[in-house]
Amino acid sequence: MLDDFFVRALLAGLGIALVAGPLGCFVVWRRMAYFGDTMAHSALLGIALSLALDWSLLFSVFLISGLISMVLVLLQRRGGLSTDSLLGILSHSTLAIGLVSLAFMPWVRVDLLGYLFGDILAVTKSDLAVIWGGAVLVGVVLVLLWRPLLAGTVNAEIAAAEGQRPERARIAFMLVMAFVIAIAMKIVGILLITALLIIPAATARRFATSPEVMAVLAALIGGVASTGGLYLSLATNTPSGPSIVVAALALFLAALLPLPDLVGRLTSSRIREDTP
Amino acid sequence: MASAMASSTGGALVTMRGVGVFRSRRWLIEGVDLTIRPGEIITLIGPNGSGKTTTAKTAIGVVSADAGSVERSRDLVVGYVPQKLAVDRSLPMTVSRMMTLTTRAGAPAVDEALERVGIRHLRKAQVHDLSGGEFQRALLARAMLRRPNLLVLDEPVQGVDFSGEIALYELISDLRESEGCAVLLISHDLHVVMAKTDRVVCLNGHVCCAGSPSSVAASPAYRQLFGARASEALALYRHDHDHTHLPDGQIAYGGHDHDAGACGGGGGGGDGHGHDHDHDHDHGHDHGPGRAHDPQGRHAALNGDPAPHPQDGAPAPRRASEHDHA
C-alpha cells in the first residue's frame, strides 16, 4: 500500500493536518499568524544551512526556526518596537539571507519551487515515518502543555499568579511550532504552511463551543482539506500544496454559509430555554 | 536578590521587605513593605501609576522584585482577578469551561462556585456574551474555585454600574467571611471599600502611609495625595466616627458635625451664621462661597487661630469649639 506514492501523500497530509489543527488554534487565539509566517520564512535559511554544512534538513530547519523564535522573545523583552515590526524584520531578512546564501553555493542545485510550495507527491517512506513520529510527539507535548498554554492564552497574569508558568509554556509552544514547520515544509512548502495552521482552525471556530472542541474540529477539517486537496491535485494535475490550501479555503467558505449559523442559533436558544 | 523562601514568614502569607521594581529605566515601586496575614482584607489605594498593581503582582510573584525580598508561605494558594481581561473572540469559551482554567474541578464543584456568585444559570453561556457585572462574577467564581487563601482583586468593579458595584463588594466580603481567605484589594473607590477593609495601604511609588482606614485617612501624607475630599468621602460612609480630620491636619473631637451644625443653625438665629452651617451640612467643607458669608476675623479670633486656613472651604465652622460659641 505504501508503495503507492499517492497513498504516501495522503497519509503524510493527514499526519500533518492532525497536529496543525490544534496548533493552529493557538496561533489563531494568540494572534500569532504573522509569527507563523516568520518562522516558515526563516526555514529557507535553515535549508541553506543544511545544504552548506550537509546537515539533516529537518534538524537545520528546526534549529533556525527555533533560534529565530528565541531571538523574537529576546527582542520583545527588550521592548521599543512592536511585535509585528520585529516579525517583519525577522521574516523578510531571514528569507533574504536564505536566498543570498543559496546564491553563494553555485554547486548546489536546488528546487526552490519545491521548498516554497511543497512537493507532497515526493514523500518517501522515511519521510512518512518522520511525519507520523513527529505528529505523535507533538500531540503528546500539546496534551501536556494544554492547561498552562490555554491559561496563558486567556490571561498570562492569571496563569502566572496561579502557578501555570505561562512564559515557559509559550517558549515550548514556539519550539513545537518550529518543529511542525520543519516536518510540514515538505508537504505544503514554506509559503503555505501558515495557511494549513490557520484556515482549518478558523473554519472550526464557527462550530466550536469550547477550546477543546475547536482543536479537534480543526484537526478533522485539516484532514478533510488535505485529502480533498490531494484528490483535486490528482484529478486536475495541479500542484499539490496549493491544491490543499484551496480545499481548506473552500471548506472555510462553505462554513460561512447561513446553514451553520441557523444551527448555532437553534442550539443557543435551546440553552437559553433550559436556564431557570 | 529577591527571594521567595517560605522560612520565617511567621504565619504570614506574604512578607515584602523593602521591595523595589525597576522597569523601563525607572522605579515603579521602591522600598515597599507589606505583610499579608491569613484572613485579613488589605486595600491598596493610590493615584494612577502609583504602583498598586505592581505591588500586588510582586506580592504573588507575577512580577519579580529587583530590590528587597519577598517571602511567600509554602502553602500559599492565590486566586487572581486581574484588572483587565478580554477573552479573544476567536477563542470559544463557556463560563463553566473558564472555571477550570488553572485548576481541575468536577461539574458539581463548578456549578456550586457559580451558584455562590449567582450566575449558575449562565454556565453554558459564552464568556463573550456576558455583561460587565456577570463577567466579573464569573472571574470571582473562577478564582474562588481554587480555594485560595489569598484572593487578589485588581479593581474588581471596573465596568460595573453603581448598584452592581455595591453588590459585588458585598459578595467579596461574604466570600471572605465564608472561606476565610485573605483579600488583597486594589481600588480607587475609597468610600465603599474602606468600610469593609481591615488595613489600608496608601501607595505613591512607595508606601505613603498604612494602617486602619481611619488612621490612614487622618495621615497628612494621605491628605496630600488625595486632597481633603477623599477623607470627606470616608466620613460620609463611616457614621460612627468620633472625630473629624481637618485639612490642616488638626483633629476635632466630638465631631457629630451634622447635629452640631444643626444646633448652630438653630442657636444662631437669622444672623447668617446658620446659613453657613446648613451649607456645610450638605457639602462638607469644600465650599469657598459659603466661607465668604462668614465674618472671617470673628472665626479666627474664636478659634484662637490668627492665621486664616489656607485650604479653600476652611472647616472652621465645623469645629467643636465653634458650636460652643453659637
Helix (H) or strand (E) holding A235: helix A211-236
Residues A71-91: pLDDT tens digits?
998 998 887 888 889 999 999
Does A29 contact B102 at a Cβ distance shorter than 8 Å?
no
Question: What's the pLDDT score for residue A7?
Answer: 93
Q: Where is pLDDT greater, at B256 or A170?
A: A170
The pLDDT mean for chain A works out to 89
Question: What's the pLDDT score for residue B189?
Answer: 64
Does B92 contact A213 at a Cβ distance shorter than 8 Å?
yes
Question: What's the pLDDT score for residue B229?
Answer: 59
Residues B166-201: pLDDT tens digits?
788 888 888 888 888 999 999 876 666 666 788 888
Amino acid of residue B308: P
> Which chain B residue has its CA at the smallest distance from A30's CA?
B88
Does A275 contact B121 at a Cβ distance shorter than 8 Å?
yes
| Interface check B87 vs A, CB under 8 A | yes
> Which chain B residue has its CA at the smallest distance from A211's CA?
B92
> Which chain A residue has its CA at the smallest distance from B53's CA?
A157
What residues in A contact B61, CB-CB < 8 Å?
160-161
Nearest Cβ partner of B88 from A29, A162, A163? A29
Confidence of residue B85 (pLDDT cuts 50, 70, 90): confident
Return residues 30-69 of B near A (CB < 8 Å).
Answer: 57, 60-62
Nearest Cβ partner of B101 from A31, A150, A208? A150
d(CA A203, CA A223): 13
| Interface check B124 vs A, CB under 8 A | yes
Amino acid of residue B164: G
Residues A160-191: pLDDT tens digits?
999 899 999 999 999 999 999 999 888 888 88
Confidence of residue B255 (pLDDT cuts 50, 70, 90): very low
d(CA B198, CA B291): 36
Residues A86-105: pLDDT tens digits?
999 999 999 999 989 988 88
Q: What is the DSSP letter of B94?
A: B
Mean pLDDT across the stretch B59-88? 90
Does A161 contact B60 at a Cβ distance shorter than 8 Å?
yes
Confidence of residue B92 (pLDDT cuts 50, 70, 90): very high
Look up the pTM and report it.
0.77
Mean pLDDT across the stretch B156-175? 80
Confidence of residue A224 (pLDDT cuts 50, 70, 90): very high
Does A154 contact B125 at a Cβ distance shorter than 8 Å?
no
Its ipTM equals: 0.84
The residue of A27, A145, A154, A203 whose CB has the most chain B CBs within 10 angstroms, and thus the best one to mutate to test that interface, is A154
Mean pLDDT across the stretch B42-65? 89
The residue of B81, B91, B129 whose CB has the most chain A CBs within 10 angstroms, and thus the best one to mutate to test that interface, is B91
Does A162 contact B80 at a Cβ distance shorter than 8 Å?
yes
Whether the pLDDT of residue A270 is over 90: the answer is no
Q: Is B209 helix (H, G, I), strand (E, B) or coil?
A: strand
Mean pLDDT across the stretch B148-155? 91
Q: In this structure, which long-range contacts are made by residues B301-309, counting pairs with CB atoms below 8 Å and at least 24 apart in sequence?
A: B309/B246, B309/B247, B309/B248
Mean pLDDT across the stretch A203-212? 94
Nearest Cβ partner of A158 from B91, B97, B101? B101
Q: Is B153 helix (H, G, I), strand (E, B) or coil?
A: strand
Question: What's the pLDDT score for residue A260?
Answer: 52
Q: How many CB pairs under 8 A join A and B?
A: 75
Q: By the 8 A CB rule, do A256 and A207 touch?
A: no
